[in-house]
Amino acid sequence: MNAIPSRRVDRVIKVLLEAQAKGKKVMIIGVGRSGLVGRSFAMRLMHLGFQVHVVGETITPALGPGDILFAISGSGSTTFVVAAAEIAKKVGAKIIAITSYPRSKLGKLANYAVVIPGRVRAAKYRDYFSRQILGNHEPLAPLGTRFEVSSMVFLDSLIVELMDTLGKTEAEMKARHATIE
Protein backbone atom coordinates (compact mmCIF):
# COMPACT_ATOMS: atom_id res chain seq x y z
CA MET A 1 0.00 0.00 0.00
CA ASN A 2 1.24 3.46 -0.81
CA ALA A 3 1.85 5.83 2.08
CA ILE A 4 -0.55 8.72 2.52
CA PRO A 5 1.42 11.98 2.30
CA SER A 6 1.95 13.38 5.79
CA ARG A 7 0.89 16.86 4.62
CA ARG A 8 -2.60 15.48 3.82
CA VAL A 9 -2.82 13.83 7.24
CA ASP A 10 -1.65 17.03 8.93
CA ARG A 11 -4.22 19.05 6.98
CA VAL A 12 -7.11 16.76 7.96
CA ILE A 13 -6.05 16.95 11.61
CA LYS A 14 -5.78 20.74 11.40
CA VAL A 15 -9.26 21.04 9.87
CA LEU A 16 -10.74 18.79 12.57
CA LEU A 17 -9.04 20.72 15.37
CA GLU A 18 -10.19 24.07 13.93
CA ALA A 19 -13.75 22.78 13.76
CA GLN A 20 -13.63 21.62 17.37
CA ALA A 21 -12.12 24.92 18.56
CA LYS A 22 -14.89 26.87 16.78
CA GLY A 23 -17.69 24.60 18.04
CA LYS A 24 -18.42 23.30 14.55
CA LYS A 25 -20.04 19.97 13.82
CA VAL A 26 -18.40 17.00 12.15
CA MET A 27 -20.83 14.92 10.10
CA ILE A 28 -19.84 11.45 8.94
CA ILE A 29 -21.36 9.74 5.91
CA GLY A 30 -20.74 6.42 4.24
CA VAL A 31 -22.94 3.64 2.90
CA GLY A 32 -22.71 -0.08 3.64
CA ARG A 33 -19.42 -1.22 5.11
CA SER A 34 -17.90 2.23 4.52
CA GLY A 35 -20.73 3.55 6.67
CA LEU A 36 -19.78 1.14 9.44
CA VAL A 37 -16.19 2.39 9.26
CA GLY A 38 -17.56 5.93 9.47
CA ARG A 39 -19.64 5.09 12.55
CA SER A 40 -16.56 3.69 14.28
CA PHE A 41 -14.68 6.90 13.50
CA ALA A 42 -17.61 9.00 14.74
CA MET A 43 -17.61 7.12 18.05
CA ARG A 44 -13.92 7.78 18.60
CA LEU A 45 -14.34 11.47 17.73
CA MET A 46 -17.14 11.63 20.31
CA HIS A 47 -14.78 10.02 22.84
CA LEU A 48 -12.38 12.89 22.15
CA GLY A 49 -15.10 15.49 22.76
CA PHE A 50 -15.95 16.44 19.18
CA GLN A 51 -19.49 17.45 18.27
CA VAL A 52 -20.01 14.60 15.81
CA HIS A 53 -23.05 13.09 14.10
CA VAL A 54 -23.75 10.35 11.57
CA VAL A 55 -25.74 11.48 8.54
CA GLY A 56 -29.06 9.66 8.25
CA GLU A 57 -29.79 9.35 11.96
CA THR A 58 -33.07 10.93 13.10
CA ILE A 59 -31.27 13.19 15.58
CA THR A 60 -28.66 14.52 13.14
CA PRO A 61 -28.81 18.35 13.10
CA ALA A 62 -28.52 20.58 10.07
CA LEU A 63 -25.13 21.02 8.47
CA GLY A 64 -23.99 24.64 8.34
CA PRO A 65 -21.21 26.91 7.15
CA GLY A 66 -17.81 25.86 8.49
CA ASP A 67 -19.04 22.44 9.61
CA ILE A 68 -17.27 19.38 8.21
CA LEU A 69 -18.70 16.55 6.14
CA PHE A 70 -16.44 13.50 6.34
CA ALA A 71 -17.50 11.48 3.27
CA ILE A 72 -16.33 7.89 2.83
CA SER A 73 -16.76 6.19 -0.55
CA GLY A 74 -14.26 3.89 -2.23
CA SER A 75 -15.65 4.60 -5.70
CA GLY A 76 -16.31 8.26 -4.99
CA SER A 77 -19.59 7.86 -6.83
CA THR A 78 -21.95 6.44 -4.19
CA THR A 79 -25.19 8.33 -4.87
CA PHE A 80 -26.15 9.11 -1.26
CA VAL A 81 -22.62 10.22 -0.34
CA VAL A 82 -22.23 12.42 -3.42
CA ALA A 83 -25.67 14.01 -2.86
CA ALA A 84 -24.69 14.82 0.74
CA ALA A 85 -21.41 16.36 -0.48
CA GLU A 86 -23.29 18.50 -3.00
CA ILE A 87 -25.55 19.80 -0.23
CA ALA A 88 -22.57 20.38 2.06
CA LYS A 89 -20.91 22.43 -0.68
CA LYS A 90 -24.07 24.56 -1.10
CA VAL A 91 -24.29 25.38 2.63
CA GLY A 92 -20.60 26.24 2.95
CA ALA A 93 -19.39 23.19 4.86
CA LYS A 94 -15.93 21.75 4.31
CA ILE A 95 -15.77 18.31 2.71
CA ILE A 96 -13.13 15.73 3.55
CA ALA A 97 -13.36 12.77 1.17
CA ILE A 98 -11.91 9.34 1.86
CA THR A 99 -11.86 7.58 -1.52
CA SER A 100 -9.82 5.47 -3.91
CA TYR A 101 -10.66 7.80 -6.79
CA PRO A 102 -9.69 11.46 -6.28
CA ARG A 103 -10.99 12.34 -9.76
CA SER A 104 -14.44 10.97 -8.97
CA LYS A 105 -17.43 13.22 -8.40
CA LEU A 106 -16.86 13.08 -4.64
CA GLY A 107 -13.15 13.74 -5.04
CA LYS A 108 -13.88 16.82 -7.15
CA LEU A 109 -16.42 18.16 -4.62
CA ALA A 110 -14.04 17.72 -1.69
CA ASN A 111 -11.96 20.47 -0.16
CA TYR A 112 -9.58 17.76 1.00
CA ALA A 113 -9.28 14.25 -0.42
CA VAL A 114 -7.38 11.39 1.17
CA VAL A 115 -6.71 8.61 -1.29
CA ILE A 116 -6.98 5.12 0.17
CA PRO A 117 -6.14 2.49 -2.45
CA GLY A 118 -8.76 -0.16 -3.01
CA ARG A 119 -9.55 -2.95 -5.40
CA VAL A 120 -9.73 -1.56 -8.91
CA ARG A 121 -11.07 -4.54 -10.85
CA ALA A 122 -12.94 -7.79 -10.37
CA ALA A 123 -11.08 -11.09 -10.41
CA LYS A 124 -10.69 -12.49 -13.92
CA TYR A 125 -10.75 -16.10 -12.70
CA ARG A 126 -13.19 -17.13 -9.99
CA ASP A 127 -11.32 -20.12 -8.68
CA TYR A 128 -8.40 -19.34 -6.33
CA PHE A 129 -6.31 -22.35 -7.39
CA SER A 130 -6.77 -21.58 -11.09
CA ARG A 131 -5.52 -18.05 -10.45
CA GLN A 132 -2.48 -19.37 -8.58
CA ILE A 133 -1.58 -21.90 -11.31
CA LEU A 134 -1.94 -19.23 -13.99
CA GLY A 135 0.13 -16.76 -11.98
CA ASN A 136 -2.80 -14.40 -11.66
CA HIS A 137 -2.41 -13.30 -8.00
CA GLU A 138 -5.45 -11.08 -7.68
CA PRO A 139 -6.69 -9.91 -4.30
CA LEU A 140 -8.37 -12.55 -2.19
CA ALA A 141 -10.61 -10.04 -0.45
CA PRO A 142 -13.95 -9.47 -2.19
CA LEU A 143 -15.45 -6.19 -3.36
CA GLY A 144 -14.34 -3.15 -1.34
CA THR A 145 -12.72 -4.97 1.58
CA ARG A 146 -9.24 -3.55 0.97
CA PHE A 147 -10.59 0.01 0.92
CA GLU A 148 -12.77 -0.49 3.98
CA VAL A 149 -10.06 -2.11 6.12
CA SER A 150 -7.47 0.44 5.02
CA SER A 151 -9.88 3.30 5.74
CA MET A 152 -10.50 1.93 9.23
CA VAL A 153 -6.77 1.77 9.94
CA PHE A 154 -6.24 5.28 8.56
CA LEU A 155 -9.11 6.79 10.56
CA ASP A 156 -8.00 5.04 13.76
CA SER A 157 -4.51 6.45 13.18
CA LEU A 158 -6.07 9.93 12.94
CA ILE A 159 -7.64 9.33 16.35
CA VAL A 160 -4.21 8.48 17.81
CA GLU A 161 -2.76 11.68 16.32
CA LEU A 162 -5.69 13.72 17.67
CA MET A 163 -5.26 12.12 21.12
CA ASP A 164 -1.62 13.14 21.14
CA THR A 165 -2.28 16.67 19.88
CA LEU A 166 -5.13 17.23 22.34
CA GLY A 167 -3.24 15.59 25.19
CA LYS A 168 -6.11 13.13 25.80
CA THR A 169 -5.65 9.80 27.52
CA GLU A 170 -7.55 6.55 27.10
CA ALA A 171 -8.95 7.08 30.60
CA GLU A 172 -10.46 10.42 29.50
CA MET A 173 -11.91 8.78 26.39
CA LYS A 174 -13.34 5.91 28.44
CA ALA A 175 -15.16 8.43 30.63
CA ARG A 176 -17.20 9.36 27.51
CA HIS A 177 -17.77 5.74 26.49
CA ALA A 178 -21.32 4.35 26.56
CA THR A 179 -22.46 3.15 29.97
CA ILE A 180 -25.65 1.56 28.61
CA GLU A 181 -24.65 -1.25 26.25
SS (H, E, C) the chain: CCCCCHHHHHHHHHHHHHHHHCCCCEEEEECCHHHHHHHHHHHHHHHCCCCEEECCCCCCCCCCCCCEEEEECCCCCCHHHHHHHHHHHHHCCEEEEEECCCCCHHHHHCCEEEECCCCCCCCCCCCHHHHHHCCCCCCCCCCCHHHHHHHHHHHHHHHHHHHHHHCCCHHHHHHCCCCCC
pLDDT digits (tens, 9 = 90+) for 30-67: 998 899 999 999 999 999 999 999 999 999 999 999 99
Of 57, 138, 148, 170, catalytic: 148
What gap in Å lies between CA 12 and CA 120, rounded to an integer? 25
Report whether pLDDT(1) > 50.
Answer: no
Q: What is the mean pLDDT of the chain?
A: 86
pLDDT digits (tens, 9 = 90+) for 3-37: 777 888 899 999 999 999 999 999 999 998 899 99
Mean pLDDT of all residues in 75-96: 95
What integer pLDDT is reported at residue 119 of this predicted model? 57
Report whether pLDDT(121) > 60.
Answer: no
Enumerate domains of the chain plus CATH numbers.
Answer: 6-169 (3.40.50.10490)
What gap in Å lies between CA 78 and CA 83, rounded to an integer? 9
Q: Please confirm, yes or no, whether 57 is among the known catalytic residues.
A: no
Residues 6+ apart with CB under 8 A from 155: 37, 40, 41, 44, 98
**Structure-model confidence comparison of residues 133 and 129, the more confident one:** 133
pLDDT digits (tens, 9 = 90+) for 130-157: 555 666 555 555 555 788 888 999 999 9
**Structure-model confidence comparison of residues 116 and 172, the more confident one:** 116
